[in-house]
Amino acid sequence: MKERVVLGLSGGVDSAVAAYLLKEQGYEVIGVFMRNWDSTLNNDILGNPTNDNDICPQEEDYNDAKKVAEHLGIELRRVDFIKEYWDHVFTYFLEEYAKGRTPNPDILCNKHIKFKAFLDYAKSIDADYIATGHYARVEHHNQGDSVMLRGVDNNKDQTYFLCQLNQSQLQASLFPVGELTKPEVRKIAEDLNLPVAHKKDSTGICFIGERDFREFLKNYIPAKSGKMVDIETNHVVGEHQGIMYYTIGQRKGLNIGGPGDAWFVVGKEYEENILYVCQGDQNKWLMSEGALITDVNWIPSIKPEGEIKCTAKFRYRQKDNDVSIHFVDETTIYVQFINQIKAVTPGQAAVFYDGDICLGGGTIEKVYKDEKEIAYL
């Protein structure tokens, strides 16, 4: 009996090549197109550039997935997780933005949809594994933990977004394109004459797509303008359009004129609706020395005792930072930075690595300098 793999077939080139590779490896492959967002049902009107399209992008993706499935000779099913996405991803996303924080919906989407709801569906049809087109690698061992490794293509590695996977999820997962670079994936698609070989990569919010973000948020959270204040002089230097639209370290879109260095967002006073800014990208107000990370998912089954040294990323595509970490409790880590780091932002994700091994990650809750909390919010 062939092992059965249920593959998330998105209509993109990565999952299409993943389907081909799995077939070549001898698996029985069933493709599943996940529908997780309904623009009409979810009041997705403002900021949606596709409202007047004859066919919505999601349907276009489904049609592309059908063409790929037909081309490769695999079954394709369509499954809706619209309620699960709203309840477990989008609601939290809105709650965090309403607090002035900056969440990462892709991480939540992987945790609750692609590797929970989707995995549950796969188990219901007796699948041995699920698979996706993520650029990551996994090593399964007969005894002991499964290990998640960075994708071979450093420019495309997506383990940052997979940091919340637990052992049961990881042990049931395959990442067929993780051993390849993006150009190699494109080349395979071209050689196979796949209908999505030259389709551009999707961008925007996970399963929602490209939006005018400020307008999009107005569908769900009222915007409230307020003062933009120089944190060093306490002088008002401009007006913001709503603190939820800005993130720590942001430079573009502040619209502050005058002489001197560029301006950067450095903090938020939520109750007073004040956005604090400073001048200069190395300003002391942007720098920090440590952070408290909550809701930590530690992928190895045994947590380290005492202090360990590793590396960390505090946003996607950031270079690795040398850090020292220790568990404060079961799901909380204190991180000491070896060197000061700029614009570490509450609400975003911290992800930890030992070389190529992804150890897990959590949410940046507090940021410290000189052993004192920086009042970002």
What topology is assigned to 4-213 in CATH?
A: Rossmann fold (3.40.50)
Question: Residue 217 belongs to what H/E stretch?
Answer: helix 213-218
d(CA 96, CA 276): 19
Pick from 351, 288, 283: nearest CA to 317: 351
Predicted pLDDT of residue 315: 94
Question: What pLDDT band is residue 2 in, cutting at 50, 70 and 90?
Answer: confident
Determine the topology of domain 223-279 in CATH: SH3 type barrels. (2.30.30)
In this prediction, residue 48 carries a pLDDT of 85
The answer to whether the CB of 344 falls within 8 A of the CB of 367 is yes
Lowest mean pLDDT among 48-52, 60-64, 129-133, 224-228: 48-52
376 pLDDT band (50/70/90 cuts)?
Answer: low
**pLDDT digits over 53-89, tens only?**
777 788 899 999 999 999 999 999 999 999 999 999 9
Report the candidate in 279, 257, 256, 287 with the shortest Cα–Cα distance to residue 376: 287
Which residues make Cβ contacts (< 8 Å) with residue 121, sequence separation at least 6? 6, 32, 79
- The segment(s) of the chain belonging to CATH 3.40.50.620 are 4-213
CATH architecture assignment, domain 286-373? Beta Barrel (2.40)
Kindly indicate the confidence band of residue 370, based on its pLDDT and cuts at 50, 70 and 90.
Answer: confident
pLDDT of residue 85: 93
Radius of gyration of the chain (CA): 22
- Indicate where the chain has its CATH 2.40.30.10 domain(s): 286-373
* Residue spans in the chain of domains classed CATH 2.30.30.280: 223-279
- The model carries a pTM of 0.93
Q: What is the pLDDT of residues 174-229, one digit of tens each?
A: 999 999 999 999 999 999 999 999 999 887 777 777 888 888 888 999 889 999 99
d(CA 149, CA 157): 9
> Annotated catalytic sites, by residue?
109, 206
Contact predicate 373/366, CB 8 Å: yes
- Max alpha carbon distance in the chain (Å)? 72
256 phi and psi angles, rounded to 5 deg: -105, 120
Tens-place pLDDT, residues 324-341:
999 999 999 999 999 999
Structure tokens that stand for 353 in this block: 């690595």
Q: What count of other Cβ atoms lies within 10 Å of the Cβ of residue 63?
A: 14
354 bridge partner residues: 357
Residue 249 has pLDDT above 80, yes or no: yes
